[in-house]
Amino acid sequence: MEKLQYEKPYIKKLHAGVMNKFGTRTGVQPVKNIDGISVKSLIETYGSPVFVLSERQIRKNYRSAYRAFSTRYPKVQFAWSYKTNYLNAICQVFHQEGSWAEVVSGFEYRKALGNGVPGNKIIFNGPGKTNDELQMAIENDSLIHIDHFEELNQLLTLSNNLANKPRVAIRVNMDTGVYPLWDRFGFNYENGEAWTALTKVVNSGKLQLAGLHCHIGTYMLTTAAYGIAATKLCDLAIRCQTQCNHKIEYIDMGGGFPSTNTLKGAYLPGNDTVPSIDDFAEVITSTLLNYGFANTDLPSLILESGRVLIDDAGYLLGTVIANKRLSSGKRATIVDFGVNILFTSFWYEHQISPAQDFVPHSENMVIYGPLCMNIDVIRESINLPPLSPGDQVVVHKVGAYNMTQWMQFITLRPTVVLIDEQQRTHVIRTSETLQYTEEPEFVPTHLKAK
Amino acid sequence: MKQISAFIKSVINSYSVLFFSQNRVLGLILMLVSFFNPASGFAGLGCVLFSQVICRLLKFYGDDLQTGIYSFNSLLLGIAFGAFYHVNLLFVLWLVVTCGMVIVASILLSQRLGKRGLPMLSLPFILVFWMVLLAANSIFAMGLQQKSSYLLEEIYNGPGHLAGVEGYFAVALPKYVSLFFRALSAVLFQHNIIVGMLMSLGLFIHSRIAFSLLVISFIGACLLNSVIYVYPEGISYYHLGANVMMVSVAMGSFFTIPSLRSYLLAVLCIPVVFIFINALTGFMSVHALPIFSLPFCMVNISLLYFLTLRKSTGKLQLTQVQHYSPERNLYQFLNQQNRLNDLKYLKLNLPFMGYWTVTQGYNGSITHKGDWSEALDFMIYDDEQKTYQYPGTQPENFYCFNKPVLACGDGVVELVVNHLEDNPIGKENLKENWGNTVVIKHAIGLYSKVSHLKKNSAKVKPGDIVKQGDLLALCGNSGRSPEPHLHFQLQATPYIGSKTLRYPFAWYFSRKGNKNSLQSYTIPAEGELVGNPEVNAGIKKAFDLQPGYTARLTQENGNTEEWEVFKDTLGQCGIYSKTTGAAAYYINNGVMFYFTSFYGDKKSMLYYFYLAAYKVIFNDAEELEVNDEFAVHLSQNKVLLLLQDLVAPFYKFISIGYQSSNLVQKNGLSINSKQFDKRNNKQLMDSTICIDHGSLQTISININGSHIKAQWSTEN
C-alpha cells in the first residue's frame, strides 16, 4: 500500500446550514495536465511561474467565433486586437486563421507590419496617433479609424495632393442603454458629431470613408446593446448612402465580448451569466441583415474581438511558497506570482486549481503574491484545499491582457510557453534577465560603482 | 486609311473564302493563279471590286461583306466568264450586268438561307451563269463568243477522258498526283498543274486539316471509281475538284468540328456526290447546261440542314462560331467545352452563409433515393466533428439551427409551408415528411426547394420575387428530421414531393484542411465542406469592365494602346484595341473574370492582357489557385503545332496550362499567372497584374524571352 501523505491537523469552524446533496465538496478538481502535458514537467522545464498558452484552444475559439458570425452573415472579417496579446507567435496564429490586425499605437502598428500583415489589412485605432504614424498608415494604405476632429484635420492636411485617397473610418460612440456610457472615444452619435465628422470626411474629397466603427464597451454582459449600436451605425451608413451618395464598405462593431471569467463583485460565476458569442452574433447580424441594405450591397462586418478568443487559452502555473494564519484566523497562502504579472486579478476572481491530488477538506483563504507590496493580492477569498509549500497551482483564463499589461516590478517577468496542436511545447518569450532590464539604463560616470 | 485596308482585306477574303478561309496568303495565291488565264484573272478581280463597291454604296455592310461572302460568287462568275468566252466589248457589258445579278442573288440567297443557318455556297453563281449560258446559246445573238477548250468540253460533257500532256510536271509526276493538282485547279476553271500546286501550298498554309481532307477525298474518290468503274475513263477534274473534294472539305472540316466522325462523314459524301453528279448531268444535259458545283451545293446544304434538325448534337458537332479555320474551330471548341458553363446553366449559389458540410449527397444512403435521389443535406460541424454544442438535447444546441437559409438564385416564391412544429431531437414527423418548406421558381421547369425549416421563420410568401442571396427562412428541425439540417433540391414541378433534378451549383469553395479550392458547375459530394465564395470587392471592381470603359496602356518604351469595352449584338462583352484592331471576348460572372477568345494581333498589349488575365478569381486568399487551359492554337512552338494540326481531329498532344493566384501586396494586390506546357511543366509565360483601389494599375509579362511592362490610365 502506498504511503499516505502527511496531513497537517487543522481546526474548522462548524457552519450550521441547510443540507445539500453535494455534501461539503467544493467542486475543485486538480488540474494536472494542460493539453496533455503535465503541469509538473512544464514547471520543471520552464521554471515557476510560467505562462502557458494552448494553440489548439486559440484556434478552436477563433473558428467557433468565426463560424458563429460567418454562418449568419456573408461578409465577415476578424481583426486581432493586438493589445490583448501581442506576442508575435500568438498574433501569427490569428493571422494564419485569417485575422487582420487591429492596432492602437505606432508600436503595435510596426509590430503588425513585422508580422507580415499587409498594410491594407491593418486597422489603426486609438486616440493618440502622431503625425508620423498617420503618415506611415497612409503610405501603407491602412484603415485609419478617426477618433477626434484634431485627427481628422491632421489627416486632411496630410492627404493634400495624394494620388490615392487614404481609407478612413470614423469611430462613433453612442448610448446603447448600458452603464457606463463609453463616450470618450470617437464622435458621439446622439449629439450629431458623428454625422458632422462623416459629412466632413465625405465632402473633403481627400479621404475615402471606407467604414464606420464603434466599440461600445468592454466585458459586455448584454447582447441588446450591440443591437442598438448596430442599428445606429446602419442608420449612419444608409444616410451616408442616400444623402452623401457614398457607400460604406464596412461596419466595424469592435469587440468587448466577455470571456467566461467571473468579474469581481459578480454574484454568479461567469460561466453561467455571460452570453455566448452566438448570442452576440445573432443580434448583430440580424440587425444588419434586416436593416434594409440590398443583399448585394451589404457592408462587410468587421469584429475586433480579443479577450473572448484567447482568455481561456492562457494558464499561469505557479508554486506555493508559504502558508500563514492571519489575525482573523483566516488562512493565507503565498504563491510565487504577483499582480505585476497577473494584472487581471484586479478585475477577475480567477479560478485557481491545485495541480496535484489533495485532501477532500477545503478552507476559505486569501492568496497573496510574492511582492513586498500591500496590493499584491491574487484572490481575497477562495475555497481551496490546504496547500503545502512546493505545491503547484494553475490559474485559469489568463490569456487576455496579462501578457501585455504585465510589468517588470520587483520580480522579473516569466517565460511564456505555447503548446502547439501536436502537443509540442515552444518558448515564445523567455524569462527576463537582469541584463535585459538594465540594458536601456545609463549610469553617469560620477555615480558608477568604483 | 483604315477603310482602304479593310477594303483590300475584303477583296482578298473574297478569294480565300472560296475555300472557306480568311487566310491572306491563300487569298493572294488564289488571286495570283487566277491570272494564269489573264481574261479570267481580270474579269474575276473586276467582278470582286465591282461587287465590293456596289455593296458598300448600297450599304450592305457587315461581316458578310468583310469576309467576302457577298462577293465570292461574283469572283466565280468573272473567272467562268474569262474561261468560257473571248474578250470583246459585249463581254464586258454582259459581265457587268450579270455581276449585278449575282450580287442581287447573293444577297437574297444568303439572307434567306442564313435565317436557317445554312450557307448559299455557289448557288448564285450557278443560277446566274446558267442564265448567261441559256441566253448566249439562244437564237438571239448576245455577242459572246465561246472558247473551245478541253476543260469546257469536259464541263459540258460531264465524265470525260483524262488526257493532255502538259509541261514538265505532267511527265515527271505520277498520274494521280498530277490529277490531284489539276482537279484542284479546276475549281478556278483551269486545268493547270502549276496552278494546282500553288493552290495546294496555299491550302496547306491555310489549314492542314482541310488539306488532309482534300487528299483523303481525292484518294477515296479514285479508289471508289477504280473499284466500281462508275467513270471508266476516270473522273473529270472539274467534278473531282469542285464537287467531291469541296464537299469533303466543307462537311468534314468547315461546317462540322473536325473529328473522326466528321472525316467519316466526308468520306461517306463521296458516293453521294457521284449520284448527284450523274443524275444532275443527265437532267441538265437536256438544256445543254453544265451542272457546275450544283452537286456540292445540294449535298452540302441538305446534309447540313439535316444535321441541324437533330434533337441532340451528339458527338458530331456542328461549328457554332465560325473562325474560318478548321484548326481554330476545333481548338476553340475543345477549349470551350468546359469553359462556357456560364452560358449553359442558371447560376445557382449554395443556399446558406459560411461553410456547411454535405451530410447526404445525391443517391444518399438514408433518404435520397429513387425519384428523390438528387438532393443534398447540409449541416454545420465544428473542429471536433460534432454538429452541436453541449448538451445537444435541444434543437438550439445544434450549430445549423436558426441559421439563415437563402435563395439559391433569382426567382418567384411558389409555395411556403411555415406552420409545422420543430421536432425534439431524435423524433421525426413522418406525416409531413418535408416539414416547413419554401419552393422557388427559377425558370420554367426549374424549381428549388429548401426543407425542414424552423417553424414560423419564413420571411417570404408565395408570389414574392426573390433575388439570389435573399433571406428565405431559418434552418430548423421540422418534418422527417431527427436533428436540425437543411435539405436542398432542384425539381421540375412546384409541388412538394416532386421528382428531383440533377443541377450543378455555379461555383462554391470546397474546403479541405485550411485550403479552399474553387469548384465550378459541379455538384458537391457527400462529406464535402462547402461555402459560397467570398468576393474581394477590389478585384471585382477592377474587372468590372462595362461597355464604354476606355483605357490607355503605356509601355515602358513609350508605345501606347487604346482600348474600349464593347458589347456585341449577341450580348457578349469584349475589349477592342483601337490601336491594333485586336479584340478579346470575356465573361465576368461576378465571381471571376475570364477570356473566351482572342482575335487579331498577337503583338498587341491586349493579347498579353488576354494571356495574363485568362482567368481571374475575385478572391484574395493566397492559397487559392485557379487552373485553366489555353486553346491549342496559342502554342508558341509553331513546328509542333503544325504536327498537331495534322492529327488534331484524332489526337491532341499539345496542352497549354494556365494558373493564376492572387497575392496581397503592401498596396493593393497582384494577380500572378503563368502559362506552362502541361506535358513537361515547362513555363512558357509569367505575368503580374497589379490592382489597387479597385482599378487595374500595371501589367508586366515575360514571354518568349522578352519582358513587357505597361501602365493603365483611364478617364472613366
- Report pLDDT digits (tens) over B455-464: 999 999 999 9
Closest approach of B670 to chain A, Cα-based (Å): 12
Per-residue pLDDT tens digits for A216-268: 998 898 999 999 999 999 999 999 999 999 999 999 999 999 999 999 988 88
Same domain, A183 and A283: yes
Mutation choice for A interface testing from B383, B460, B516 by most A CBs within 10 A: B383
**Average pLDDT, rounded, for chain B:** 89
CA-wise closest residue to A390 among A319, A450, A330: A319
Residue A68, min C-alpha distance to chain B (Å): 8
Determine whether the interchain pair A70/B355 forms a contact, defined as Cβ–Cβ distance below 8 Å.
yes
Q: Is residue A442 in a domain?
A: no
Considering only alpha carbons, which residue of chain B is nearest residue A166? B693
Cα of A153 to nearest chain B Cα, Å? 23
In whole numbers, what is the pLDDT of chain A averaged over residues? 92
CA distance B568 to chain A (A): 27
Residue A151 CB partners (closer than 8 Å, separation 6+): A127, A129, A134
pLDDT at B239: 82
Q: Inter-chain contact B382–A59, Cβ cutoff 8 Å? A: no
In the predicted structure, residue B165 carries a pLDDT above the cut 50: no
Decide if pLDDT at B172 tops 90.
no
A vs B, Cβ pairs < 8 A, gives: 66
Contact between B467 and A72 using a beta-carbon 8 Å cutoff: no
Cα A233 from Cα A194, distance rounded (Å): 10
Report B:130-149 residues touching A (Cβ under 8 A): none
Domain-embedded: residue A432: yes
Which of A46-50, A126-130, A290-294 has the lowest average pLDDT? A290-294
- Quote the CA–CA distance of B649 and B257 in Å, as a whole number: 8
**Residue B355 in grid coordinates:** 461553410
**Cβ–Cβ of B693/A75 closer than 8 Å?**
no
Give this complex's ipTM.
0.86
Residue B599 scores a pLDDT above 80: yes
- Closest residue, chain B, to A66 (C-alpha): B354
DSSP letter at A251? Answer: E
Stated length of chain A: 450
Inspect the interface and report whether the beta carbons of B354 and A295 lie closer than 8 Å: no
Question: Which grid cell sits at A50?
Answer: 510560467
CA distance B514 to chain A (A): 8
B383 with A63: Cβ contact below 8 A: yes
Alpha-helical runs (H) found in A6-148: 39-46, 55-70, 88-97, 106-114, 131-139
Q: Do A296 and B402 touch (CB under 8 A)?
A: no
Contact (CB<8Å) A60/B537: no
* A44-64 pLDDT tens trace: 999 999 999 999 999 999 999
- Dig out the grid coordinates for A68 from the structure: 458563429
* Residues A357-396 as b or e (16 or more Cβ within 10 Å = b): ebeeebbebbbbbbbeeeebbbbeebebbbbeeebbbbbb
Chain B hits for A63, Cβ within 8 Å: 382-383
Counted residue by residue, chain B has a size of: 716
Residue A66: φ, ψ to 5°: -65, -40
Residue B162's pLDDT is what?
Answer: 39
Q: Do domains B1-147 and B148-327 have the same CATH topology?
A: yes
Q: Which of B666, B692, B698, B712 to mutate to test the interface with A (most CBs of A within 10 A)?
A: B666
pLDDT at B163: 40
CATH number of domain containing A381 = 2.40.37.10
**Which chain A residues contact residue B693 at CB under 8 A?**
164-165
Interchain contact B488–A (C-beta under 8 A): no
Is A4 domain-assigned? Answer: no
Quickly count: other Cβ atoms within 10 Å of residue B416's Cβ. Answer: 21
The verdict on residue A16 lying in a domain is no
Mark whether A323 and A221 lie in a shared domain: no
What pLDDT does A25 receive? 61
Residues of B in contact with A70 (CB under 8 A): 353-355, 531
CA B536 to chain A, closest CA, distance in angstroms equals 10
Cβ distance B353 to A249 less than 8 Å, yes or no, reads no
Give yes or no for residue B635 having a pLDDT over 60: yes
Give residue-wise pLDDT tens across range B506-539: 989 999 887 888 888 999 999 999 999 888 888 9
Would you say residue B691 has pLDDT above 50?
A: yes
What's the pLDDT at B160? Answer: 39
Of A59, A71, A165, the CB nearest to B354: A71
Q: With contact defined as beta carbons under 8 Å apart, do A115 and A95 qualify?
A: yes
Of the three residues A247, A277, A306, the one that is the final residue of a domain is: A306
The superfamily in CATH containing domain B355-531 is: Glucose Permease (Domain IIA) (2.70.70.10)
* Grid cell locating A369: 503574491
What is the number of domains present in chain A? 2
pLDDT classification of B615: cutoffs 50, 70, 90? very high
Q: Which pLDDT score, from 0 to 100, does residue B710 have?
A: 92
- Alpha-carbon gap: A315 to the closest alpha carbon of chain B (Å): 22
Beta strands in B476-622 (DSSP E): 486-491, 500-501, 505-512, 515-522, 529-531, 550-555, 560-567, 573-577, 583-588, 592-599, 615-617
| Residue B644 to residue B327: CA distance in whole angstroms | 9
A1-34 pLDDT per residue, tens: 788 777 777 777 676 666 667 665 667 789 999 9
pLDDT of residue A26: 63
| CATH number for A206 | 3.20.20.10
Q: Which residues in chain A have their CB less than 8 angstroms from residue B532's CB?
A: 74
Q: Measured between CB atoms, does B534 come within 8 Å of chain A?
A: yes
CB contact A75 to B (< 8 Å): yes
Q: Give pLDDT, residue B620.
A: 84
Mean of pLDDT values over B182-205: 88
Out of A67, A118, A282, the one facing B664 most closely (by C-beta) is A118
For residue A331, tell me if it sits in a domain.
Answer: yes
CB atoms within 10 A of CB B112: 11
pLDDT band of B159, cuts 50, 70, 90: very low
Q: What is the pLDDT of residue A134?
A: 95
Verify whether the Cβ–Cβ distance B668 to A282 is below 8 Å.
Answer: no
A residues 121-140 closer than 8 Å to B (CB): 121, 140
Residues A372 and A237 in one domain: no
Q: Which residue in chain A is spatially nearest to B533 when comparing CA positions?
A: A74
Interval B44-97: pLDDT, tens: 999 999 999 999 999 887 788 888 999 999 999 999 998 888 888 889 999 999
A60 at B interface, C-beta within 8 A: yes
Cis ω for the linkage preceding A49 (within 30 of 0):
yes
Residue written as grid cell 477504280:
B226
Q: Of the given ranges (A188-197, B156-165, B580-589), which has the lowest mean pLDDT?
A: B156-165
Let me know: does B380 contact B357? Beta carbons within 8 Å.
yes
For residue A60, the distance in angstroms to the closest alpha carbon of chain B comes to 7
> How far, in Å, CA of B356 to CA of B336, rounded?
31
Q: What is the rounded distance in angstroms from the CA atom of residue A356 to the CA atom of residue A390?
A: 11
Co-location of A284 and A175 in the same domain: yes
**Rounded average pLDDT over A343-354:** 94
In a domain, A228, yes or no: yes
- CA-based nearest residue in chain A for residue B664: A118
Are the Cβ atoms of B399 and A71 closer than 8 angstroms? yes
Residues B148-327, CATH architecture? Orthogonal Bundle (1.10)
The answer to whether B393 contacts chain A (CB < 8 Å) is no
Of B353, B383, B537, the CB nearest to A60: B383
Nearest to B250, CA basis, from B195, B198, B293, B205: B293
Interface test with B, best of A120, A209, A290 (most B CBs within 10 A): A120
pTM reported for the whole predicted model: 0.81
Residue B600 CB coordination number (10 Å): 16
- Report the CATH number of the B1-147 domain: 1.10.3430.10
Residue A16's pLDDT is 67
Residues A44 and A75 in one domain: no
SS (H, E, C) A150-166: HHHHHHHHHCCCCCCCC
Residues A258 and A343 in one domain: no
- Cβ contacts of B382 on chain A, cutoff 8 Å: 63-64, 67
| Contact between chains at B534 and A75 (C-beta distance less than 8 A) | yes
What's the pLDDT at B344? 85
Q: What is the pLDDT of residue B474?
A: 95
- Residue B332 C-alpha, separation from nearest chain A C-alpha, in angstroms: 34
Contact (CB<8Å) A67/B467: no
β-strand partners of A78: A303
Is residue A224 in a domain? yes
Q: Which among A279, A306, A333 is the end of a domain?
A: A306
Same domain, A155 and A195: yes
Instruction: Report pLDDT digits (tens) over A139-165.
Output: 998 999 999 999 999 999 999 888 788
Helices (runs of H) and strands (runs of E) counted in chain B:
20, 25
Q: Which of A60, A67, A164 shows the shortest C-beta gap to B692?
A: A164
To probe the interface with A, which of B406, B667, B712 has the most A CB atoms within 10 Å?
Answer: B667
B667 reaches A (C-beta below 8 A)? yes
pLDDT for B320 equals 85
- Residues A169 and A276 reside in one and the same domain: yes
pLDDT band at B716 (very low <50, low <70, confident <90, very high): low
Q: Which of A54, A61, A67, A95 to mutate to test the interface with B (most CBs of B within 10 A)?
A: A67
Q: Decide which of A202 and A18 is more confident.
A: A202
Please check whether residue B216 is in contact with residue B650, taking contact to mean a CB–CB distance below 8 angstroms.
no
Give contacts of A 381-410 with B, CB under 8 A.
none
| Pair A159, A102 in one domain | yes
Domain ranges of chain B: 1-147, 148-327, 355-531, 537-714
Q: What does the block give as the cell for A252?
A: 466595424
Same domain? For A270 and A332 the reply is: no
Task: Out of A306, A335, A355, pick the residue that ends a domain.
Answer: A306
Look at B217 and A10; give whichever has higher pLDDT: B217
Which pLDDT value is given to residue B53? 93
Q: Are B311 and B192 contacting, i.e. CB atoms less than 8 angstroms apart?
A: no
Asked if A316 and A409 sit in the same domain, the reply is yes
Q: Which domain holds residue A420?
A: 33-53+312-437
Using the predicted structure, report yes or no on whether residue B195 has a pLDDT greater than 50: yes
Tell me how crowded residue B587 is: count the other CB atoms within 10 A of its CB.
17
pLDDT of residue B169: 59
Contact yes or no for B353 and A59 at CB 8 A: no
Residue contact B667–A119, C-beta within 8 A? yes
CB contact under 8 A, B354 and A72: yes
With 80 as the cut, is the pLDDT of residue B230 above it? no
| Residue A342 sits in the same domain as residue A384 | yes
Which pLDDT tens digit goes with each residue over B468-493?
Answer: 999 999 999 999 999 999 999 999 99
Percent of chain A whose predicted confidence (pLDDT) is above 70: 97
Kind and range of the H or E run holding A424: none
